[in-house]
Structure formats: structure tokens, C-alpha cells
Amino acid sequence: MKVNKFTILCLVIYAAVTIYFNYTHVMWFDEAHSWLIAKQLGFVDMLKYIKNEGHFFVWQVLLYPFAHIKFNLYPYVMKVLNWSFCICAVVILWWKAPFNNCIKALITFSFPFLVCYSVLARCYSIGILLLFALAALYENKFKYPKTYALLLILCANTSVMALIGATAFGVLFLYDYIRNYEKKDKICVYMILFFGALLVLYQLFNIGYFEPISLNRKPHISVRIFRNSFINGHLIINCLLTGLFSIPLLRYFYENKKSLFFISFTYAILLIFLMAVYGGSFWHSYFFYIFLIIALWISNDVNNLKIKNFAIITFAIISLILVFHKPVDKDYYQVFGRKSLDLLNIIERDENLNHSTIIQNSGILYEIIPYSFGKSYKLKNHCHQEQNTDYDLLNNNNKICAIKNTMEQAKRYPKLLEKIIDKNTYTFIDTREYKINSDVKINKFYFKKYKCFEQYCFFKINVK
């Protein structure tokens, strides 16, 4: 990396803008859920709980020591860690990637890097950082084989998305390593890869990705991947652009067999995953872009400059489109349009609610549970079967639970609900979904209207 004014300016602007985005970002369900896992489970239980999480354990292990500090550091630690990983990934890109500064700037200020992965405090940024580190060390992997093997295993254990890229890198590494007659640290490298692979396989089988598709993991139809890939809502145009962009890129990769393998393997597995295993969201689909960056990164120069220039121009156009791209599906507004802190402010500013137990079962409750540790109020899942449990994690396989509405829980599972009710228990409903603004009696439960706000109505629960 040539440290020039343009490089410094781009990195400073990127850091400043992403810091602002993180400052204004309200943590949503998946982010809060990761903190709850780190807060309430030990290392062994984390591995067992993976079946409900869907992602590997490295992110939760990183959060674990911070989640157990006496003072509640949520959500600041998560934001700082995730932002740091993304910043480091961008720095490695500017330092090691064989692109000109204009291409690097387009990547840096594309939506995936500027808005998505730098802000969503989940397991993806650390995976991208490790993928970029593997790309940066690719040409020198035999100088540091143990380090490279460790990076492969760490990357593979961050997320399923990163696992796809790490697997492609691993195949290329083993192919060259086995053929390399001057094998350095051979036994140690093989042991690292072997035990790392076992850990990955354990988690994959525990999550259930090899099982028949369940309803809660039903994949979206393949059309969704292309509907918003470049121009939002224009399926035919996006399909035509995909075909048009593929021609110069595939022609270039044909001259670089290892890059061709990397892009073919990662795209094929990611397509199968999104179409046949798990219906992904926009933050999953952006890994197509990540893998394209890496495939170009590790490619060797070709003699035909015309082929190379066409490929680089095509990639620049794709990156330019992603600079101005913004997802329009409901997942975008679910992640970046959260108002859970409004609910938290209502609870903390009301004298009665601030000294009560509030039960419910919804994403917005889970989003504010991490803020409640050490506070005078308790937030609990109404599907719990024990009154004094602090186990606030979601169980996707809980078949004795009415989602969202505690009144429905009282109707369907009254005996279970009675176990967690004390003398000062409240619940709430979202008035946009339920038109209930008066007292309600269900079985032995009396839901007495307490207060209604703009979006939420609170009810005190008494058992007769």
C-alpha cells in the first residue's frame, strides 16, 4: 500500500462515516441474541445451542469475556469489535489487494462495506477480515503454513458464509501443499486442519443443515436473489446484467485456473445454500460480491491486457452500482429501522413498569433484554416454564409457546403461564398488530389495561 493522501482521505472518511452509522444504529434481534448467548451460556453450552443460532461459535466466544464484566457494556463492545474488524478488512484491502486506488475506493464505499457489514454487529465482519487475510497471504502461504492453516480454521468457524470461502481456500492450499516437496511443519499443519474440520462438521450437523428443510429454514425462491441484485425490483434487467457481466469475468478467470476454481466453487455452494437450504437476506447475498473481490485478488496477471481490462472495467461497474445500491426488501427495514429503544424508554421512565416483571415473546423484547441486566425491572419470555429462571434465550423448537401475544399464551397454555406470573407482572401488545385497548379476561387471567402509548399498550396480569 502506497500511503498517499488519497488513501488516507478514503480511510478517514470511511472511518468517520461508519462511526456515525454505528452511533445511530439500534441493535436488532440477531445482534441482541448473540450477546445473550455470550452472557448466559458457557463454552460447552454455546456449542450445544448452535442448533437454535444457525451460526458458528467464534463470534460468541469473542463476546464472552466482555459479557461477563460486572458493568453492562452492551451494545458498545459489540459495535466497537465489529467496526474494528471491518476497518481492518478495509485496511488489508488497501494494503495488499492488487487493485488501483479507484477500484479500492469503489469497494470501500460500496453499500456492503459502508453500511452493511461495518454496522451489523454479527459474525460477518470477522469472517471477511479473515478471508481478506487469507487472500493477502495467498502467494506466501508456504512461508507460514501453520499460520495459514490457523487462519483457515478460524475463518471457517465464524459463519457458514465465510466457511464457503475458507473451504475453497483450503482446497487450493492442500492441493499446492501436497504437491510441494519441501513441506514445512507437515504434521502440525495437517493436525490443525483435521481438528478444525471436525469442529466445523460437528457444528454443521448440530445446526441441522444436512437435515430435511424445516419450515423455519425454508429457502426463498431463487428469483429473489436476482430481483434486487443490481437494480431493485427489476428481475429481467438484473438477469440480463448478470449474464452480461459474467462474460468478461469468466473469460478472465479462464486464464487463471485457481481463480476460476475459487469463483466457481463459492458461487455454486452459495447458490445451493440460498436456494435449497436456507433463505438468505441481503447480508448473505453480498458474499457473492466478497467472493468476486477475492477471486480477482488472487488471480495472476494474464498476457492479454484486453481481457484483463474488460474484466476490471466490469468489476468497477458492479462496484459502482453497489455504491448506490440499497436493498428494498423487508429485511432492510427490519434491521435498519428498529425502534426498540422507544419501548425501552417507556419502561424505564414509568415508575411502575420500571419496578416490575414484563413478559412477552417477540423480537422486540429480545432486542431490549440485554439492556435490562442489573436494572430494577425484569424482561422475560412468557414461554419459560420456571418463574426464577434467567435463561432468556430463544428456543426455536419450543412447541408450547404462543408467539408475541401473551394473551394467546394464556388461552392455549394457561398452566405454563401461571408458573411465571408474580404479583407485579405486566405484558404489552403492539397496537399495529392487535386492536386491544380494554381489559381482557382469559381463563383465570385478568389482563387489566395499564397504559397505552403510541405503539404499545401495557396490561397488568392478575391471576384469579
Short-list 459, 370, 304, CA closest to 79: 370
Residue environment code for 384-412, b if the CB has 16+ CB neighbours within 10 A, otherwise e: beeeeeeebbbeeeeeebbebbbbbbbee
439, 455 Cβ separation under 8 angstroms? no
Could you state, in order of their start, the residue ranges of all structural domains in the chain? 5-334, 339-463
Q: How many other CB atoms are found less than 10 A from the CB of residue 40?
A: 17
Q: Does the bond joining 212 to the residue before it have cis omega, within 30 degrees of 0?
A: no
pLDDT at 455: 86
* Residues in contact with 93: Cβ distance below 8 Å, sequence separation at least 6, in sequence order: 104, 107, 108, 132, 293
pLDDT at 51: 67
Rounded to whole angstroms, how far apart are CA atoms 50 and 296? Answer: 34
Which residue intervals of 180-304 are DSSP H helices? 186-207, 223-227, 235-254, 257-272, 282-285, 287-297
> CA-CA distances (angstroms) from residue 327 to 120, 236, 392?
14, 17, 31
Q: Which grid cell is 317? A: 461497474
Rounded to whole angstroms, how far apart are CA atoms 389 and 163? Answer: 35
pLDDT at 209: 59
What average pLDDT values come out for the chain (464 residues) when binned by 10 residues? 84 97 90 88 77 79 91 93 97 95 96 94 96 96 92 94 96 89 80 92 74 49 64 80 92 92 96 81 90 94 80 95 80 72 92 92 86 89 61 54 81 86 90 84 92 90 89
pLDDT at 222: 53
pLDDT at 267: 95
> CA-CA distances (angstroms) from residue 146 to 2, 133, 151?
29, 14, 9
Phi, psi of 285 (to 5 degrees): -65, -30
pLDDT at 214: 43
